[in-house]
Amino acid sequence: MYKLDLPKDLAMAATLEMRRNREIERQNRIFNSKVRIIGVDKEALDYQVKERKIKEETDAHVHEAYAKDLIRNEKIACLLDERQKNDSRALNKAVEEFRQCFQKPESRREFHLNDPGMLKKDLPARISDHDPRLSVSGVQKLVGEDLNQQERHRMQQEQLREWSLQQQEELHRAREEHTCAEELYNKRRVELDNRAVELQKIEEETRRAVTLATKDFNLAKAAETREKQKLEKQQEEEDNLVEMSNLIQGDLLSENPDQAVSVFGPHRVVPDRWKGMRPEQLKEITHFQQQQVQENMRSKEREQLCDLEWEQQRMDSARKALLLERQQARLERELRRALDNTNKQLSEAHRAQKQYLEKEVFTNIPEDGYFAQFNTTSR
């Protein structure tokens, strides 16, 4: 349905409801100073990030545990499935052998009903008047003429006894076969359990061997690293000793004056190789240093005199400043006293004006409904 097909009152109500909801959301955003100034709740976001990291780590540990448990269950399920298949195969084989040996079609009591050679083995319809197969409907032998009743009862009892013995023998044979099948199943199960234990032991031994090999490799690597570091340290010490010996025996530390002579003339020296001066130069430098010491002493005496003058001026200034501070404090006390009197008069006037406004002017006090009409829209 298009918008133009809606009734006018429903469309207008939906529009008003949408505007009202939009206005409420805008007021929640604008009147909330924290959201308006900050924008987001950073602490809540940090807490959410922390919780999410903790949840991810917990989920990772749980998934890892589930994965390990799943792998172990899959191995157990594979072993159990193989065991079940083998047991089912052995049971089917035993059942098939039992059927082939003891449940042949010829041994069934109903075999004569489905015997393909029944017609060849069947007797003629009539042998004599005393044939027990003669039916009543043939009117060749009546009920009262049953002359072979005792023989027939004896044969029936003999047949029942043979059937009972046969059933007992079949039951006994079935029980023995069931017992053999259970023993075979138990042996197979014990064999599979032993095989699983052996596989677990082999896995543990393999893991232990790998761990030992890794440990030996790491120990050999660490020994090789230590030996290498030892050789490097020994070589470095030897190089340092050789360098120290060269420096001690060289011209730099022995202060050989010949090394400072320049190739441009005997009156010039190489600055980075020069290690000493002539006695005349040393004497001149000593004389100049003594002059500097005397000049420094005279400068210190002048500075002391100047410091004494400055100290005297400072004391005079401090005395004058103290007098000015006392005078300023006295003036401030007088101003504070006058200000207190003025504030007291203003306070009394303000109190009187407030009483006048409350009792004479503002007699109609607004209620809460008057203030509730303000700040109700965000526009």
Q: Would you state the pLDDT for residue 363?
A: 75
* Neighbour tally for 83: CB within 10 Å: 18
> Among 97-106, 119-128, 359-368, whose mean pLDDT is lowest?
119-128
Instruction: Using pLDDT thresholds of 50, 70 and 90, give the confidence band for residue 66.
Output: confident
Closest by CA position to 251, among listed 270, 267, 265: 270
pLDDT tens digits for range 261-294:
666 766 676 666 666 666 777 788 888 889 999 9
Cα separation values, 362 from 86, 164, 186, 359, 365, Å? 105, 124, 106, 7, 7
Predicted TM-score of the model (pTM)? 0.23
Across 334-351, average pLDDT: 90
> Among 101-110, 145-154, 199-208, 326-335, whose mean pLDDT is lowest?
145-154
Q: Would you state the pLDDT for residue 89?
A: 92
Q: Would you state the pLDDT for residue 1?
A: 42
Instruction: Using pLDDT thresholds of 50, 70 and 90, give the confidence band for residue 82.
Output: very high
Q: Would you state the pLDDT for residue 2?
A: 47
CA distance linking residue 151 with residue 147, whole number of Å: 9
Looking at the predicted structure, is the pLDDT value of residue 130 above 60? yes
Torsion 360-364-367-373 (CA) sign: negative
Cα separation values, 32 from 36, 37, 48, 171, Å? 6, 9, 22, 90
CA distance linking residue 296 with residue 288, whole number of Å: 12
